[in-house]
Amino acid sequence: DAEITQSPRHKITETGRQVTLACHQTWNHNNMFWYRQDLGHGLRLIHYSYGVQDTNKGEVSDGYSVSRSNTEDLPLTLESAASSQTSVYFCASKAGGTGELFFGEGSRLTVL
Protein backbone atom coordinates (compact mmCIF):
# COMPACT_ATOMS: atom_id res chain seq x y z
CA ASP A 1 0.00 0.00 0.00
CA ALA A 2 1.09 3.53 -0.70
CA GLU A 3 2.11 5.51 2.32
CA ILE A 4 3.90 8.57 3.67
CA THR A 5 6.64 8.12 6.25
CA GLN A 6 8.58 10.53 8.40
CA SER A 7 11.87 10.08 10.20
CA PRO A 8 12.97 10.41 12.86
CA ARG A 9 9.77 10.11 14.88
CA HIS A 10 11.43 11.67 17.91
CA LYS A 11 14.53 13.83 18.12
CA ILE A 12 16.21 15.88 20.80
CA THR A 13 18.81 18.40 19.72
CA GLU A 14 20.62 21.45 21.02
CA THR A 15 20.19 25.07 20.12
CA GLY A 16 22.23 26.05 17.08
CA ARG A 17 22.49 22.59 15.54
CA GLN A 18 21.29 21.78 12.06
CA VAL A 19 18.44 19.28 11.93
CA THR A 20 16.83 17.55 8.97
CA LEU A 21 13.47 15.82 9.12
CA ALA A 22 12.83 13.36 6.31
CA CYS A 23 9.54 12.81 4.50
CA HIS A 24 9.00 10.09 1.91
CA GLN A 25 5.77 9.29 0.10
CA THR A 26 4.95 6.48 -2.28
CA TRP A 27 1.65 7.94 -3.52
CA ASN A 28 3.43 9.63 -6.43
CA HIS A 29 1.78 12.89 -5.38
CA ASN A 30 3.07 16.12 -6.84
CA ASN A 31 1.99 18.20 -3.85
CA MET A 32 3.85 17.94 -0.54
CA PHE A 33 3.61 20.05 2.60
CA TRP A 34 5.26 20.55 5.96
CA TYR A 35 3.17 21.72 8.92
CA ARG A 36 4.03 22.28 12.55
CA GLN A 37 1.52 21.61 15.31
CA ASP A 38 1.54 23.66 18.49
CA LEU A 39 -1.08 23.88 21.21
CA GLY A 40 -3.39 26.80 20.58
CA HIS A 41 -2.18 27.27 17.03
CA GLY A 42 -3.38 24.15 15.29
CA LEU A 43 -1.37 23.23 12.21
CA ARG A 44 0.59 25.98 10.54
CA LEU A 45 2.13 25.65 7.10
CA ILE A 46 5.92 25.90 6.95
CA HIS A 47 6.81 25.12 3.33
CA TYR A 48 5.20 23.36 0.42
CA SER A 49 6.04 22.02 -3.02
CA TYR A 50 3.92 21.47 -6.09
CA GLY A 51 6.48 19.39 -7.92
CA VAL A 52 10.16 18.64 -8.47
CA GLN A 53 12.36 21.74 -8.10
CA ASP A 54 9.36 23.74 -6.85
CA THR A 55 9.31 25.06 -3.27
CA ASN A 56 7.22 27.78 -1.63
CA LYS A 57 7.15 29.50 1.75
CA GLY A 58 4.23 29.04 4.06
CA GLU A 59 3.09 31.25 6.93
CA VAL A 60 5.87 30.24 9.37
CA SER A 61 8.87 29.60 7.12
CA ASP A 62 11.56 31.60 8.96
CA GLY A 63 14.39 29.32 10.08
CA TYR A 64 13.31 26.44 7.84
CA SER A 65 14.19 25.30 4.32
CA VAL A 66 13.12 22.51 1.98
CA SER A 67 14.32 21.05 -1.28
CA ARG A 68 12.52 18.85 -3.80
CA SER A 69 14.87 16.84 -5.98
CA ASN A 70 12.43 14.03 -6.72
CA THR A 71 8.71 13.32 -6.44
CA GLU A 72 8.93 11.10 -3.37
CA ASP A 73 10.91 13.22 -0.88
CA LEU A 74 10.61 16.64 0.77
CA PRO A 75 13.17 16.98 3.58
CA LEU A 76 12.75 19.82 6.04
CA THR A 77 15.93 21.45 7.37
CA LEU A 78 16.31 23.66 10.40
CA GLU A 79 19.55 25.49 9.68
CA SER A 80 20.20 26.55 13.28
CA ALA A 81 17.66 25.05 15.67
CA ALA A 82 16.01 27.36 18.19
CA SER A 83 13.93 26.52 21.26
CA SER A 84 10.93 28.13 19.54
CA GLN A 85 11.13 25.34 16.98
CA THR A 86 10.28 22.69 19.55
CA SER A 87 7.13 21.23 18.05
CA VAL A 88 5.50 18.29 16.33
CA TYR A 89 6.11 18.35 12.59
CA PHE A 90 3.80 16.78 10.06
CA CYS A 91 4.53 16.04 6.45
CA ALA A 92 1.58 15.62 4.09
CA SER A 93 0.94 14.97 0.43
CA LYS A 94 -1.99 15.10 -1.95
CA ALA A 95 -2.82 14.56 -5.56
CA GLY A 96 -3.99 17.50 -7.62
CA GLY A 97 -7.52 18.80 -7.67
CA THR A 98 -9.62 18.00 -4.65
CA GLY A 99 -7.68 14.89 -3.64
CA GLU A 100 -7.43 14.01 0.02
CA LEU A 101 -4.48 15.28 2.04
CA PHE A 102 -2.55 12.33 3.51
CA PHE A 103 -0.40 12.85 6.57
CA GLY A 104 2.67 11.19 7.96
CA GLU A 105 2.72 10.12 11.60
CA GLY A 106 4.55 13.23 12.78
CA SER A 107 8.02 13.95 14.13
CA ARG A 108 8.38 15.33 17.63
CA LEU A 109 11.38 17.66 17.83
CA THR A 110 12.74 19.04 21.09
CA VAL A 111 15.34 21.79 20.99
CA LEU A 112 17.18 22.27 24.29
Supply the minimum distance, in Å, between the C-beta of residue 17 and another protein. 24
Supply the minimum distance, in Å, between the C-beta of residue 80 and another protein. 26
C-alpha dist (Å) from residue 70 to 14, 85, 102: 30, 26, 18
Supply the minimum distance, in Å, between the C-beta of residue 91 and another protein. 11
By CB under 8 A, tell whether 53 contacts another protein.
no
By CB under 8 A, tell whether 3 contacts another protein.
no
Which one, 22 or 43, has the nearer CB to another protein?
43
Binding marks (x or -) toward another protein, 31..50, rule CB under 8 A? x-x-x----xxxxxx--x-x
C-alpha dist (Å) from residue 79 to 26, 35, 66, 99: 27, 17, 10, 32
Cα end-to-end distance, the chain, whole Å: 37
Q: What span, in angstroms and rounded, lies between the C-alpha atoms of 17 and 53?
A: 26
